[in-house]
A and B are shown apart, each in its own frame.
Chain A
Amino acid sequence: MKLSRKFVNDYIDLPKDESTYDIAEKMTLVGNEYDFEGKLISCTNLVIGEVLECKMHPDSDHLHVCKVNIGKETVQIICGAPNVREGIKVIVSLPGAVLPGGTIKRSVIRGEESNGMLCSLGELGLDHKFLKLEDTNGIHELPLDAPVGEDPIKYMNLDDEVIDFELTSNRGDLLSILGMAYELGAIYDKKVKDIDLSYTEGNENIEDRLKLHVDTKACPLFLARGAYGVTIKESPDFIKNRLIASGIRPINNVVDISNYVMLETGQPLHYYDADRLGKNIGVRMAKNNEELTTLDGQVRKLSNTDIVIDNGSEAIGLAGVMGGLSTEVEEDTKNIIIEAAIFDPILIRKTSKKILRSEASNRFEKGLDPKRTYMAMERSLHLLEKYADATIVKGMLEHKSVEIKDKEIEISYAKINKVLGSNLDKETILDTFRRLSFNTLDKKDIVIVSVPSRRIDINIQEDLIEEVGRIYGIDNIKGRDINIPVKRGHVDKTNRSIRTLLYALGLNETLTYSLIKDSEVYKYTNDEFEKIRVLDPMTEERSTLRYSLIPSLLSVYEYNTNRGNSDIKLFEIGKGYYKKNNEYLEDSKLSILLSGNYYECLGSNKRVNFYVMKGIVERVLDYLGYKGRYYFKKEDIPKELHPEQAGSIYIDNKKIGIIGKLHPNLYHDDIFVSEINLSLLKEIRTSKMKYKEISKYPGISKDLAFILDDDITSEEVIKTIKKAGGRFLTDIKVFDLYKGKGVAEDKKSLAFNLYFEDPTKTLTLDEITPLFNKVIEEVEKKHKAILRNS
Chain B
Amino acid sequence: MERIEEIKKVIEEKMNKVNSLEELNDLKVLFLGKKGLITEVQGMIKEIPNDSKKEFGMKVNEVRTLFNTIYEEIKNKLEEEKINKKLKEEAIDITLPSEKIETGSIHPFNRIIMEVEDLFVSMGYDVVDGNEIETDEYCFKRLNVPDGHPARDSQDTFYITEEYLLRTQTSTAQAHTMEENKEKGPIRIICPGKVYRRDDDATHSHQFGQVEGLVVDKDISLADLKGTLEIFAKRLLGENTKVRFRPSYFPFTEPSVEVDLSCFKCGGKGCALCKQTGWIEVLGAGMVHPNVLRMGGYDPEVYTGFAFGTGLDRLAMFKYNIPDIRYLYTNDVRFLKEFDRKDEE
Contact = CB atoms under 8 A, between A and B. Distances in A.
B124 A509 contact: no
B105 A508 contact: yes
Contacts of A28: 246
A474 interface: yes
A474 B330 contact: no
Nearest to A476: B245
B114 interface: yes
Given A421-B224, A474-B245, A534 B254 contact: no
Interface stretch (A12-20, A40-48, A511-519): A511-519
Interface in B237-265: 243-249, 251, 254-258
A560 B247 CA distance: 45
A491 B119 CA distance: 11
A600 interface: yes
Interface size class of B (residues with CB under 8 A): 35 or more
Interface string A401-435: 00000000000000000111110000000000000
Given A503-B104, A577-B133, A512 B249 contact: no
B66 interface: no
A666 interface: no
B105 A509 contact: yes
B303 to A, nearest CB: 12
Contact of A479 (B99, B164, B226): B226
B120 interface: yes
Contacts, number: 252
B26 to A, nearest CB: 43
Contacts of A479: 223, 225-230, 243
A565 B166 contact: no
B221 A559 contact: no
B132 to A, nearest CB: 6
B314 interface: no
B109 A474 contact: no
A169 B154 contact: yes
A618 interface: no
Interface stretch (A240-248, A345-353, A386-394): A345-353
B104 to A, nearest CB: 4
A486 interface: yes
A601 B223 CA distance: 58
B245 A462 contact: no
Contacts of A31: 246-249
Contact of A460 (B98, B103, B206, B254): B254
A467 to B, nearest CB: 9
Interface string B286-328: 0101100000000000001000000000000000000000001
A263 B336 CA distance: 52
B236 to A, nearest CB: 16
Given A419-B304, A489-B188, A511 B328 contact: yes
Nearest to A501: B104
B49 interface: no
A487 interface: yes
A479 B306 CA distance: 13
B42 interface: no
A469 B102 contact: no
A532 interface: yes
Interface in B95-142: 96-107, 109-110, 114, 117, 120-127, 129, 131-133
A514 B317 CA distance: 21
A484 interface: yes
Given A365-B150, A482-B228, A508-B105, A419 B221 contact: yes
B221 A508 contact: no
Interface stretch (B17-25, B32-40, B71-79, B155-163): B155-163
A602 B97 contact: yes
Given A484-B124, A506-B103, A568 B333 contact: yes
A347 B329 CA distance: 39
A492 interface: yes
A505 B101 CA distance: 9
A514 to B, nearest CB: 6
B117 to A, nearest CB: 5
B330 A559 contact: yes
A480 interface: yes
A507 B226 contact: no
B126 A489 contact: yes
Interface in A13-58: 28-31, 33
Interface centre among B104, B122, B148 (most CB of A within 10 A): B104
Interface string A470-488: 1000110111111111111
B249 A506 contact: no
Contacts of B245: 474-475, 477
Interface centre among A480, A486, A500 (most CB of B within 10 A): A480
A553 to B, nearest CB: 9
Contacts of B179: none
A86 B198 CA distance: 57
Contact of B99 (A170, A418, A563, A601): A601
Nearest to B194: A514
A30 B246 CA distance: 7
Contacts of B57: none
B56 interface: no
Interface stretch (A111-119, A535-543, A647-655): A535-543
Given A169-B151, A478-B226, A484-B217, A462 B98 contact: no
Given A168-B248, A565-B334, A480 B150 contact: no
Interface residues of A, number: 89
B247 A474 contact: yes
A418 B206 CA distance: 39
Interface centre among B131, B148, B337 (most CB of A within 10 A): B148
B34 to A, nearest CB: 42
B109 to A, nearest CB: 5
Contact of A507 (B104, B154, B196, B206): B104
Interface in B196-239: 196, 198, 200, 206-207, 215, 217, 219-230
B153 interface: yes
B68 interface: no
B125 to A, nearest CB: 5
B2 interface: no
Contacts of A490: 121, 126-127
Contacts of A512: 329, 331
A484 B188 contact: yes
B6 interface: no
A169 B153 contact: yes
A538 B110 contact: no
A67 interface: no
B220 A482 contact: yes
Contact of B221 (A366, A421, A505): A421
Contacts of B337: 508
B158 to A, nearest CB: 4
Contacts of A735: none
B51 interface: no
Contacts of A478: 223, 226
A559 B331 contact: yes
A349 B121 contact: no
Contacts of A358: none
A146 B156 CA distance: 51
B332 interface: yes
B5 interface: no
Contacts of B329: 511-513
Given A419-B222, A477-B222, A504-B103, 17 more contacts: A347-B148, A418-B221, A462-B255, A477-B226, A477-B245, A489-B123, A489-B188, A491-B117, A491-B126, A499-B110, A509-B104, A512-B331, A532-B133, A536-B158, A538-B200, A565-B333, A577-B133
14 contacts: A30-B247, A169-B153, A462-B254, A463-B254, A470-B255, A478-B223, A480-B224, A487-B124, A505-B104, A511-B329, A545-B133, A556-B331, A599-B101, A602-B96
Interface of A: 28-31, 33, 168-171, 345-347, 349-350, 365-366, 418-422, 460, 462-463, 465-466, 469-470, 474-475, 477-492, 496, 499-500, 502-515, 532-538, 542, 545, 556, 559-560, 563, 565, 568-571, 575, 577, 584, 586, 599-602
